[in-house]
Chain A
Amino acid sequence: MERHDVTLTVNGRTSTVSVEPRKLLVDVLREDLGLVGTHIGCEHGVCGTCTVLRDGESIRSCTTFAVQVDGAELRTVEGLASGSELHPLQDEFWDKQGLQCGFCTPGMLMRACEIVEQKPDVTREEVREGIASNLCRCTGYQFITDAVCAAAARMKAGSTETTGAQA
């Protein structure tokens, strides 16, 4: 079976894994690197559950072969918090109840991360259109929008302090 070495820097840590060319990035993250926070929802690129950042841009890891991102810098949900301190997005998702079952949450957080990093003064309407790339079956999106807007405001203000309890 043909295998290729793929070198990935994920959340700042560089690893080289030997994989079949057909192996999807999401499966390499979950199985080879043990980063199971990136979930599988539809495996045809529609739901966005598997969203990760490649060189700062969101991509669908279920419609990307790992060999296609050899050498890339990736970020996943596991890279958001630093130690006990939640990322402002995580903290605001918690505060605003921007999640219910939590399954879409990692993909939604990473997409939101791209949105607020690309546009610190993002408007509520832009957030709604932005997160339309990712499906959520629980929340109806309203509280996710609340959370992303609140996090954007906090990040713009330069604050990374959490407002609530550490988790």
Chain B
Amino acid sequence: MKPPPFHYAAPTSVAEAVALLGEHADDDARALAGGQSLVPLMNFRLAQPGYLIDLRRIEELTRIRTDGDVLSIGAMVRLSRAEHSPEVALGAPLLAEALGYVAHPPIRNSGTVGGSIAHADPAAELPAVALALDAELVVVGPQGARTIAAADFFVGPFTTAIGAGEILTEVRFPRRDGGQAFVEFARTHGNFALVGVASVIETDGDAVTRAAIALSGVAPVPVRAAAAERALTGTVPDDASIRAAVDAAVAGLSPSGDAHGSTETRTDIARSYLRRGIELALTRAQDRR
């Protein structure tokens, strides 16, 4: 299991990287972030890019900063750094919690926030977090920078709205109040999740004023549990109403099955973890008040 040959460059600026990407488009050029998803695929020879543009030397992509109510994380910020960043804990506790579920520490020591989101694995944690927090994804291409809403970003399994010649440079998470919780079910510790649930629930002390819940692993892209969000909003949730909200959301799901879980089992697990996620977020919403 050895990767196929490729050309390599490690530019020091986004502009240079975008230029290289354009120059070598015919060579199937790709950006290389931490490589924790791409390199295994190359070792299996399932991915064979002809040119890799390593973003590791681009300083500006490694910043974490807070501008008012927005937490911005550079695409090349390593997962473990984000996980332990006080700014992330404050600005996006959901993200901090979810990062603890991404594979294992040695993977998180190399993997990056941008890499994980741009890879768009339907079972991955960060895309669901981005969706639940209404994150904005900043991409830069030959025509300059543009911003894509998370809801428009994930278009299929391993497919995003990043255009040809563009590089994901930054992820912006708006600060949310209320309770935030990330829960997931994986068959073994650190393995790919069958179902992940990212929940952000705000209350006025009793009633839910806003609910944003995203699921991973149940569809080709991360999806919002819109029916559950609607059912919860404006109510004072109790066990029965939470179950009803969960059932409403799960009714719309038809996760595809594989060796680790049939459609029915994945649906069962989604039902269970959706409830657990909502309950945890509600508890935290109460605790925060």
* A120 on the B face (CB < 8 A): no
Q: Could you tell me if A64 and B35 are in contact, using CB atoms closer than 8 angstroms?
A: yes
Whether A1 lies near B190 (C-beta < 8 A) is no
Whether A22 lies near B105 (C-beta < 8 A) is: no
Find the B residue at minimum CB distance from A56. B109
Give the residues from 86 to 121 in chain B that come closer than 8 angstroms, CB to CB, to chain A. 103-107, 109-110
Q: A48 to nearest B CB, angstroms?
A: 7
The smallest C-beta distance from A78 to any residue of chain B, in angstroms, reads: 19
Q: Chain A contacts of B190 at CB under 8 A?
A: 132-133
Q: Shortest CB–CB separation between residue A8 and chain B, in angstroms?
A: 15
0/1 string, A23-61, CB within 8 A of B gives 1: 010010000000000000001110010010010011110
| In the bound complex, CA of A20 to CA of B42 (Å) | 15
Which residues of B sit under 8 angstroms from A64, Cβ to Cβ?
35, 39, 110
Decide yes or no whether B3 CB sits under 8 A from chain A.
yes
- Given A64-B35, A68-B35, A129-B189; A44-B105 close (CB under 8 Å): no
Which residues of chain B are near A54, meaning CB under 8 Å? 109-110
CB distance from B45 to the nearest CB of A (A): 11
Chain A residues near B36: list those with CB within 8 A. Answer: 45, 60, 63
Whether, in the assembled complex, B56 has its beta carbon less than 8 Å from a beta carbon of chain A, the answer is yes
Whether A44 contacts B43 by the Cβ 8 Å rule is yes
Q: Are A22 and B6 in contact (CB under 8 A)?
A: yes
Say yes or no: is A2 at the interface (Cβ < 8 Å to chain B).
yes
The answer to whether A57 and B3 touch across the interface, beta carbons within 8 angstroms, is no
Once A45-B39, A62-B43 are accepted as A-B contacts, the answer to whether A24 and B106 lie under 8 Å apart by CB is no
User: Which residues of A have CB within 8 Å of B3?
Assistant: 22, 24, 65
> 1/0 per residue B51-68: CB within 8 Å of A?
010101000000000000
A65 touches B35 (CB 8 A): yes
Instruction: Indicate if B214 sits at the interface (CB-CB under 8 A).
Output: no
Q: Are A132 and B189 in contact (CB-based, < 8 A)?
A: yes
B2 contacts the other chain (CB 8 A)? yes
| Cross-chain pairs A/B with CB under 8 angstroms, 16 sampled | A2-B5, A22-B2, A24-B2, A24-B39, A44-B1, A44-B40, A45-B36, A54-B110, A59-B110, A63-B35, A64-B35, A67-B10, A68-B54, A68-B56, A130-B105, A133-B107
Extra 4 A-B pairs, beta carbons < 8 Å, given A21-B52, A63-B35, A133-B190:
A22-B3, A45-B107, A63-B36, A64-B110
What residues of chain B have their CB less than 8 Å away from a CB belonging to chain A? 1-8, 10, 32, 35-36, 39-40, 42-44, 52, 54, 56, 80, 103-107, 109-110, 189-190
